[in-house]
Each structure stands twice: as structure tokens, then as C-alpha cells.
Amino acid sequence: MSIIGELIGVIAERKLKEVAIDICDGLTPAHMETMAQKNLTLAQLLRETGHTIPKVSPLVRPGVDHLTRLSDEEMLRILEEVVPNNVAVLRRHPSFCHGVIRDLKAFAAG
């Protein structure tokens, strides 16, 4: 991977962390447990927390491409750095976790 590609990846991962912090602000692990048990989608989770899905600018497409290529485990490792308690809930509910990551990637891709 080129240096520019690596830089784009770092910037995209930083933005993912910012979004995760914003989404999880006020979203307690107990609330997430309830949502996981109901197997809600990310869109439903965002509505529950009062967030809207941000629009993706074409200028950030390379960063989006980087994130959509990451495995679930790679995404979890990135998210764990900033919202470890919420990631712990995701790890306990693999199906919910996979759905949240799938939806997160789909929203990122526009």
C-alpha cells in the first residue's frame, strides 16, 4: 500500500472513531444489551439515540473504500479503542454485531 493509501486509511479510521464516540454518547452498555436482544439494526439504534445518518462526500470515497474492506474483527479493534464497553456488548452478541458493522459499512458507502 502506498503512503497516501495508508494516510487515507488512518484518516478514515479516525473518522470512524469520532462517529462511534458520537453514536455511543449516552448509549449505555445496558441499553445496548437490550437493543442486541431485540436484534435492532443500526438505523434503529441511531433513531433510538436521536442521531441521523451523515451523508458521505465523494471526496472521502477512498477512506470509505478502506473501511468497507475491513473485516468485522478489524472494525471491532478500531472501535474498541474508543468505546470498549459498547464493543464488549457487540462481542457477546455476534449476530447483532455483524449486523451493526454491516449497516455501518453500508451507511459509510452512502
Predicted TM-score (pTM) of this structure? 0.83
Please state the domain extents for the chain: 3-109
Q: What is the mean pLDDT of the chain?
A: 83
Query: How does pLDDT run across 25-38, given as a tens digit for each residue?
Result: 877 888 889 888 98
Rounded Cα distance, 69 and 107, in Å: 14
Place of cell 474492506: 69
At 72-107, the pLDDT tens digits run 999 999 999 999 999 999 999 999 999 989 888 877
